[in-house]
Amino acid sequence: MYSLTTNAVKANTMPDDSPLVIVVDDDISVRESLELLIRSVGWQPELYECAKDFLSRQPISQPACLILDVNLPDLSGLEIQESVAINRADLPIIFLTGYGDVAMTVKAMKAGAVEFLTKPFSDDVLISAIESALERSRVSLAENVGLRSLRSRFDSLTPREHQVMTLIVRGLLNKQVAYELGISEITVKAHRGQMMRKMKARSLPDLVNMAAQLGPAAMDDIGARQPHADITA
C-alpha cells in the first residue's frame, strides 16, 4: 500500500511551488504508473488511495489539479467533486473510469470537470488534460490573489468613504450623495478622491467593476442605505 508518509518524502525532492498533481485511486498499480508519468513531466505527484485521506488535506497554495477515479471504496468520484466544488472550487478535476457512462460523463462535465477519460488512454491525452487543468488552476489562483488585494483595499476605507463609494457606484452624482449623507458636496468630493486613491481606481467604470467583483454583500453598507446617516463627515 502506498503510504502518505512515503509520498511526502518523495514530494520534497521537488520545489514546493512546482505544479501539484493529486491522484486519488484505490488501485496501487494505477497510482504508481501515474506517479512515474507525472514526475517525468516535472510536476509534483501526491497520491491517495481513498477520498477520506484526500479530503482531510490542508489547502493548496500552488497550481494544482486532481486526477480522480470515478469508483472509490468510500465515496464516489462525483461525491468528491461536489465536496471540492464547495470547499476547493479552484481545484480542477480530471476523471478516470474503467467504463464509459454517458450520463455520468455529462454530469461531471457540467459540474466543471476538465476531462473524463475512459481507460485505457494514452499518456499524451492525459498530459494534455493535466496541462489544461493546471493552466485553469493558475488563472484561478491569480484571480484569488487579485480579489484578496481588492478586498484589502476596500477594508481600508473609512465608514464614510465606504458610503460614498456605495452610492457612487449606484449612479448617484456628487450632489445627490451629499443629500443622501447630509454633508456638503465639497466634503463628498474630498471623500471621493481619497476613496478612489485607496481603491486604486483610475475611473468610475473601473470603480464599478471593482464593486461588481466585491459582490453585493460587501457593498451593502447600512449607513449608505439610510439617508443622512449619523457618521462624522
Q: Is residue 231 part of a domain?
A: no
Domain that holds residue 52: 4-149
This prediction has a pTM of 0.61
Give 221's contacts (C-beta < 8 A, 6+ positions apart): 159, 162, 163, 166
Residue found under cell 467593476: 209
The reply to whether 49 and 134 lie within a common domain is yes
CATH number at residue 134: 3.40.50.2300
220 vs 177: CA distance, rounded Å: 16
Last residue of a domain, one of 127, 149, 171: 149
User: Which range has the worst mean pLDDT, 36-45, 119-128, 166-175, 214-223?
Assistant: 214-223
Residue found under cell 500552488: 62
3-class secondary-structure state, position 48: strand
Q: What is the pLDDT of residue 11?
A: 41
The reply to whether 99 and 189 lie within a common domain is no
The reply to whether 10 and 115 lie within a common domain is yes
Cis? peptide before 45, omega within 30° of 0: no
Phi, psi of 230 (to 5 degrees): -85, 75
Residue 226 has pLDDT above 70, yes or no: no
Residues 64-96: pLDDT tens digits? 999 998 888 878 878 888 888 877 777 899 988
Residue 162 has pLDDT above 70, yes or no: yes
The reply to whether 98 and 186 lie within a common domain is no
Last residue of a domain, one of 100, 115, 149: 149
Last residue of a domain, one of 149, 172, 189: 149
Number of domains in the chain: 2
